[in-house]
């Protein structure tokens, strides 16, 4: 089994050359009426896509179903079970995915239909700007396809459409729309920063190599729309954590929260796909004993002069981090420059058998 922190979203070293064009892979899996059980995988041709299906679908969703964890939550209609966006990012690569409610040919509805793009060498702000709407169209058309052949054709054509959009893309300057920020007061920010410092210190830029489990947390939405919500929280985490660690965001259409998993996911983390805010509260709703320096940084964020609300620095930093974070979010050159050293080391480890 691959090493998550070494290999996930981190094996396309040759694609991070300064002059390399963007690369895109598009996959579909899950339940679809054209198949009588789980559909055959379409386009799972990178290790990251294969592993993403394992974490999300085979262990995450299936684990929640098999243990009955979701059955203990308030019921929802099958049509409303899945309506999520997924963004899984790491310096240099990301996954953008769409989960929608579906069924197999026998009418079983417990699993979603999933379309997921693995995108290499493109900043997250550009991915969300140029691929978000197209991926929604591809997913809805694929779900509505009547036959296996039609479904395959739609995914194949979708891959061409997304690749063409990325080939013509430019940097996203400025990366954030004016006024985009979550409505979180000073107390809410102190609670978020407390969780970052107490539970995510193993993912800090100054931390030794991380070997522990991942951490899941629910956060207030920055926007009622998933794309800007994903964008803002990606920018926030780029100011707080080492950008070389994978961070997964799951956003439900119409919800006032966003779920984030930092590091390697575990099956119970995916309770969030079904749990509402009563069953799984946001970290801003949970009182903590707060450290003075968390309080000071919370004040900077809540009352900062920057309209975006992106922190000037992170809880683990003494020096400003915002400009570097926004550059990684929106511009290809800094993104590739930051990713290349880690990718080179990982490649050397493979060559040496380490």
pLDDT digits (tens, 9 = 90+) for 197-233: 999 999 998 777 777 789 999 999 999 999 999 999 9
CA end-to-end span of the chain, whole Å? 14
- The reply to whether 353 falls in a domain is no
- The reply to whether 233 falls in a domain is yes
- The reply to whether 179 falls in a domain is no
The pLDDT, as a whole number, for residue 349 is 43
**Into how many domains does the chain fold?**
2
The pLDDT, as a whole number, for residue 17 is 60
Report residue 16's pLDDT band, with 50, 70 and 90 as the boundaries.
low
Q: Are residues 251 and 284 located together in one domain of the fold?
A: yes
Q: Are 145 and 151 in contact (CB under 8 A)?
A: yes
Q: Are residues 133 and 264 located together in one domain of the fold?
A: no
- Which of these three, 136, 167, 198, is where a domain ends? 167
Q: Are residues 158 and 191 located together in one domain of the fold?
A: no
- How does DSSP classify residue 38? B
Q: Are residues 143 and 14 located together in one domain of the fold?
A: yes
Q: Are residues 162 and 222 located together in one domain of the fold?
A: no
pLDDT at 257 over 60: yes
Higher pLDDT, 270 or 22: 270
Q: Give percent above pLDDT 90 in the chain.
A: 70
- Which of these three, 140, 167, 194, is where a domain ends? 167
Q: Are residues 153 and 190 located together in one domain of the fold?
A: no
Span 323-350, average pLDDT: 72
Q: Is 147 exposed, middle or buried (0-12, 13-18, 19+ CB in 10 A)?
A: exposed
DSSP 3-state of 95: strand
Report pLDDT digits (tens) over 83-100.
Answer: 999 999 998 899 999 999
- On the CB side of 291, CA atoms within 13 Å amount to 11
Span 56-69, average pLDDT: 96
What is d(CA 20, CA 336) in angstroms, rounded to the nearest whole number?
10
Q: Are residues 66 and 197 located together in one domain of the fold?
A: no
Closest to 27 (Cα-Cα) out of 104, 118, 92, 100: 118
CA distances from 254 to 73, 80, 219, 226 (A): 19, 11, 14, 8
- The reply to whether 351 falls in a domain is no
- The reply to whether 342 falls in a domain is no
Closest to 280 (Cα-Cα) out of 70, 100, 85, 16: 70
Q: Are residues 154 and 291 located together in one domain of the fold?
A: no
Residues in the chain: 354
What is d(CA 90, CA 248) in angstroms, rounded to the nearest whole number?
9
- The reply to whether 76 falls in a domain is yes
- Which of these three, 167, 196, 223, is where a domain ends? 167
Closest to 267 (Cα-Cα) out of 49, 63, 114: 63
Q: Which DSSP helix (H) or strand (E) runs through 87?
A: strand 83-90
Beta-carbon contacts of residue 177 (< 8 Å; ≥ 6 apart): 228
- The reply to whether 173 falls in a domain is no
Span 300-323, average pLDDT: 84
Please list the residues that pair with 100 across neighbouring strands: 83, 113
Span 320-337, average pLDDT: 90
Q: Are residues 212 and 138 located together in one domain of the fold?
A: no
Q: Are residues 233 and 304 located together in one domain of the fold?
A: yes
What is d(CA 163, CA 243) in angstroms, rounded to the nearest whole number?
25
Domain that holds residue 11: 4-167
| pTM of the predicted model as reported, rounded to 2 decimal places | 0.91
Q: Are residues 32 and 114 located together in one domain of the fold?
A: yes
The pLDDT, as a whole number, for residue 11 is 63
- The reply to whether 291 falls in a domain is yes
Q: Are residues 200 and 155 located together in one domain of the fold?
A: no
Report pLDDT digits (tens) over 136-150.
Answer: 999 999 999 999 999
Q: Are 340 and 16 in contact (CB under 8 A)?
A: yes
């Amino acid at each position: 089994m691959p090493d998550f922190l070494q290999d996930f979203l981190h094996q396309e070293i040759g694609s991070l050359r300064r002059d390399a064009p963007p690369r895109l892979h598009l996959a579909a899996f899950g339940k679809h009426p054209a198949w009588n059980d789980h559909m055959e995988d379409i386009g799972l041709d990178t290790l990251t896509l294969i592993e993403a299906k394992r974490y999300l679908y085979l262990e995450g969703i299936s684990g929640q179903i098999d243990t009955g964890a979701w059955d203990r939550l308030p019921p929802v209609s099958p049509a409303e079970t899945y309506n999520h966006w997924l963004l899984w990012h790491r310096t240099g690569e990301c996954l953008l995915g769409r989960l929608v409610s579906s069924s197999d040919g026998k009418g079983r509805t417990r699993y979603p239909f999933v379309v997921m793009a693995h995108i290499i060498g493109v900043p997250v702000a550009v991915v969300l700007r140029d691929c978000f709407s197209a991926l929604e169209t591809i997913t809805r058309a694929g779900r509505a396809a009547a036959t296996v052949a039609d479904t395959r054709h739609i995914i194949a054509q979708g891959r061409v459409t997304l690749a063409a959009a990325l080939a013509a893309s430019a940097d996203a300057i400025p990366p954030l729309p004016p006024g985009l920020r979550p409505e979180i007061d000073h107390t809410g920010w102190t609670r978020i920063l407390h969780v970052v410092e107490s539970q995510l210190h193993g993912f800090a830029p100054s931390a030794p190599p991380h070997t522990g489990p991942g951490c899941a947390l629910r956060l207030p939405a920055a926007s009622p729309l998933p794309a800007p919500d994903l964008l803002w929280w990606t920018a926030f985490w780029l100011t707080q954590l080492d950008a070389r660690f994978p961070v997964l965001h799951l956003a439900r259409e119409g919800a006032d929260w966003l779920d984030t998993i930092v590091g390697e996911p575990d099956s119970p983390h995916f309770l969030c796909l079904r749990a509402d805010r009563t069953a799984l509260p946001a970290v801003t709703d949970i009182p903590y004993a707060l450290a003075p320096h968390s309080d000071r940084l919370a004040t900077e964020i809540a009352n900062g002069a920057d309209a975006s609300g992106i922190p000037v620095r992170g809880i683990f930093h003494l020096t400003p981090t915002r400009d570097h974070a926004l550059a990684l979010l929106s511009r290809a050159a800094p993104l590739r420059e930051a990713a290349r050293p880690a990718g080179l080391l990982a490649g050397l480890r493979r060559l040496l058998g380490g």
